[in-house]
Amino acid sequence: MANLVPEGLTADVFNQAVAEMRAVVGKQWVFAEDQAALRSYRAAYGATPDEAHLPSAAVAPDGVEEIQAILKIANDYRVPLWTISTGRNFAYGGPAPRKAGYVVLDLKRMNRIIEVNEELAYALVEPGVSYFQLYEHLQKTGSKLWIDPAAPGWGGPLGNTLDHGGGYTPYGAHMLMQCGMEVILADGTVVRTGQGALPNSDNWQTVPYNFGPYVDGLFTQSNYGIVTKMGFWLMPEPPGFMPFMVTFPKQDQLHDLVEILRPFKLNLIPHNGAIMADLIWEASTKATRRQYYSGKGPIPPSARRKIAEDHQIGEWNLYAAFYGPEPLNKLQWEPLEAALRTLPGIEIYYEGDRKGDPTWDYRRDLMRGIPNMTEFSLMNWIGGGGHINFSPICTPYGAEAMKSWAMIRDRANEFGFDYIGEFAIGWRELIQVLMLMFDRTDASQRDAAYNLFNTLIEDFAKEGYGEYRTHLDFMDQVAQTYDWNDHALLSLQERLKDGLDPNGILSPGKQGIWPEQLREPR
Partner 1 sequence: MVRPRLIFRAWLTGAMLLIASGSGAGEARKLEGAERTWAFYCEGCHAAGIEEHPGTLRLSYTRSPELAAIRGRQDLTPEYLRQIVRMGYLEMVGFRKTEISDDELEALIKFIRLPVPTQAQGEK
- The reply to whether 60 sits near partner 1 by the rule CB under 8 A is yes
Q: Where are the beta strands (DSSP E) in 355-429?
A: 385-390, 393-394, 421-425
- Kindly state whether residue 243 participates in binding partner 1, applying the rule CB under 8 A: no
Q: What gap in Å lies between CA 417 and CA 424, rounded to an integer?
A: 22
Q: Does 368 bind partner 1 (CB under 8 A)?
A: yes
Q: Which is nearer to partner 1, 108 or 174 (CB)?
A: 108
Q: Are strands 103-106 and 81-84 parallel, antiparallel or unpaired?
A: parallel
Tell me how many degrees the CA angle 365-371-376 measures, rounded to the nearest 5. Answer: 95
Q: Which is nearer to partner 1, 312 or 441 (CB)?
A: 441
Active site residue 469: yes
Helix spans in 78-173 (H): 131-140, 157-162
Quote the CA–CA distance of 450 and 255 in Å, as a whole number: 29
Q: Which of 139, 451, 455, 517 binds partner 1 (CB under 8 A)?
A: 139
- Angstrom distance (rounded) from CA 127 to CA 111: 6
Q: Is 332 in the site for partner 1 (CB under 8 A)?
A: no
Q: Which of residues 26-45 bind partner 1 (CB under 8 A)?
A: 29, 31, 36-37, 39-42, 44-45
Q: Is 280 in the site for partner 1 (CB under 8 A)?
A: no
Catalytic member of 292, 468, 482, 519? 468
Nearer to partner 1, 130 or 193 (CB): 130
Number of Cβ atoms within 10 Å of the Cβ of 397: 14
- Per CB under 8 A, the segment of 169-177, 376-384, 484-492, 503-511 that binds partner 1 is 376-384
Residues 431-460 close enough to bind partner 1 by CB under 8 A: 440-441
Q: Which of 409, 411, 440, 469 is catalytic?
A: 469
Residue 265 host element (H or E): helix 253-266
Residue from 46, 94, 101, 194 touching partner 1 (CB under 8 A): that is 94
Choice from 383, 416, 466, 502 touching partner 1 (CB under 8 A): 383
Is 522 an active-site residue?
Answer: no
Burial 200-213 (b: 16+ CB within 10 A, else e): ebeebbbebebeee
For the packed helices 253-266 and 398-414, what is the interaxial angle rounded to 10 degrees?
130
Residues facing residue 241 across a β-bridge = 323
Which of 133-141, 333-341, 444-452, 510-518 is the region at the interface with partner 1 (rule: CB under 8 A)? 133-141
Judged by beta carbon, residue 147 or residue 490, the one nearer partner 1 is 147
Residue pair 492/217 in contact (Cβ under 8 Å)? The answer is no
Q: Which of 102, 146, 232, 362 is the binder for partner 1 (CB under 8 A)? A: 362
Does residue 356 belong to the site contacting partner 1 (CB under 8 A)?
yes
Beta 316-323 vs 145-146: how paired, if at all?
unpaired
**Residue 90 binds partner 1 (CB under 8 A):** yes
One residue of 6, 46, 80, 95 binding partner 1 per CB under 8 A: 95
292 is known as an active-site residue: no
> Residue 346 Cβ, how far from partner 1 at the closest point, in Å?
25
CA distances from 518 to 84, 494, 498 (A): 21, 11, 11
Judged by CB under 8 A, the residue of 17, 54, 58, 162 near partner 1 is: 58
Tell me whether strands 430-439 and 421-425 are parallel, antiparallel or unpaired: antiparallel
Query: According to the binding rule CB under 8 A, does residue 288 interact with partner 1?
Result: yes
* Contact between 373 and partner 1 per CB under 8 A: yes
How far is residue 155 from each of residues 84, 128, 135, 276, 435, measured CA to CA in Å? 11, 9, 12, 22, 18
Residue with Cβ nearer partner 1 (149 or 225): 149
Taking CB under 8 A as the criterion, the residue among 101, 127, 128, 208 binding partner 1 is 128
Please state whether the peptide bond connecting residue 270 to the residue before it is cis, i.e. omega within 30 degrees of 0. Answer: yes
Q: Which backbone phi and psi does 131 adopt, to 5 degrees?
A: -65, -40
Interaction between residue 169 and partner 1 (CB under 8 A): no
Catalytic residues: 92, 468-469
Chain residues that interact with partner 1, rule: CB under 8 A: 29, 31, 36-37, 39-42, 44-45, 58, 60, 87, 90, 94-95, 106, 108-109, 128, 130, 132-133, 135-136, 139-140, 152-154, 285-286, 288, 356, 358, 361-362, 365, 368, 370-377, 379-380, 383-385, 440-441
